[in-house]
């Protein structure tokens, strides 16, 4: 099963994804390619494949991406190979991607499970971005503007989970995945 989690920058997607992987051994995170700079504590090939723009565009030319998009001026993409290898092993793959990417994945892989992560409020989201300390005030303003646009797209998703407490959000998503997995297994019988 393909599991997509999306949500505004700073909503906790990365933390939630890491916690889900710890809890559910059947789920593996697809490592996304990006042209953005590496943040403190991020590791190449674990958190992202950090590519130059030239490398990224070469992969586009070779049709290696299942989806790719531009977010906050940087390129992001999920490799087809990482999805197809996992599905052929009959395992679940977790994609941490933006709204544009989620729509592309749903079009290509109709059975993908889409989960949107909401902040409790825009004010809380701004606090999280400030705490992260990786953006300038102008970048934060742009991220908040984009967050509002992304939140409008939440109705496209199968489920919406509010992340006001990380543990609670992870538990809700874990239960959604488990329930959907059981439904799909029973549908095949």
What is this structure's pTM?
A: 0.87
Angstrom distance (rounded) from CA 180 to CA 69: 27
Domain count, the chain: 1
- pLDDT tens per residue across span 90-142: 789 999 998 989 999 999 999 999 999 999 988 888 887 777 777 788 887 88
Q: Which two tokens stand for residue 78?
A: 């999920």
Of 22 and 10, more confident = 22
111 SS3 class: coil
- Comparing CA positions, the residue from 62, 73, 69 lying closest to residue 101 is 69
Domain range for 113 is 2-188
pLDDT band at 154 (very low <50, low <70, confident <90, very high): very high
DSSP 31: P
* pLDDT of the residue at 189: 65
Q: Kindly list the distances between the CA atom of residue 183 and the CA atoms of 62, 176, 178, 179, 188, in Å, as whole numbers in the listed order.
A: 36, 11, 9, 6, 9
Asked if 161 and 118 count as a contact pair (C-beta separation under 8 A), the reply is yes
Is 175 a residue whose pLDDT tops 90?
Answer: yes
Of 129 and 172, more confident = 172
* pLDDT of the residue at 137: 81
* pLDDT of the residue at 3: 97
Sheet holding 74-79, edge to edge: 48-50, 32-34, 74-79, 65-71
pLDDT band at 181 (very low <50, low <70, confident <90, very high): very high
CB atoms closer than 10 angstroms to residue 46: 9
φ/ψ (deg, to 5) at 67: -160, 150
- pLDDT tens per residue across span 12-62: 998 999 999 999 999 999 988 999 989 888 888 888 899 999 999 999 999
Q: Assign residue 41 the CATH number of its domain.
A: 3.40.50.300
């Amino acid at each position: 099963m393909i599991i997509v989690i999306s949500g505004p920058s700073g909503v906790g997607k990365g933390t939630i994804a890491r916690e889900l992987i710890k809890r559910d051994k059947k789920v593996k995170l697809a490592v996304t390619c990006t042209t953005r700079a590496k943040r403190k504590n991020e590791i190449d090939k674990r958190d992202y494949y950090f590519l130059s723009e030239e490398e990224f565009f070469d992969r586009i030319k070779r049709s290696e991406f299942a989806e790719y998009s531009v977010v906050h001026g940087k390129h992001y993409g999920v490799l087809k190979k990482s999805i197809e290898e996992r599905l052929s092993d009959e395992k679940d793959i977790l994609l941490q991607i933006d709204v544009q990417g989620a729509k592309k994945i749903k079009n290509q892989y109709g059975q993908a499970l889409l989960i949107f992560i909401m902040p409790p409020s825009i004010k809380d989201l701004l606090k999280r971005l400030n705490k992260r300390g990786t953006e300038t005030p102008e970048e934060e303003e742009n991220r908040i503007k984009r967050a509002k646009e992304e939140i409008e797209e939440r109705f496209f998703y199968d489920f919406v989970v509010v992340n006001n407490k990380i543990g609670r959000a992870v538990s809700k998503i874990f239960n959604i995945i488990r329930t959907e997995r059981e439904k799909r297994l029973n549908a095949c019988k």
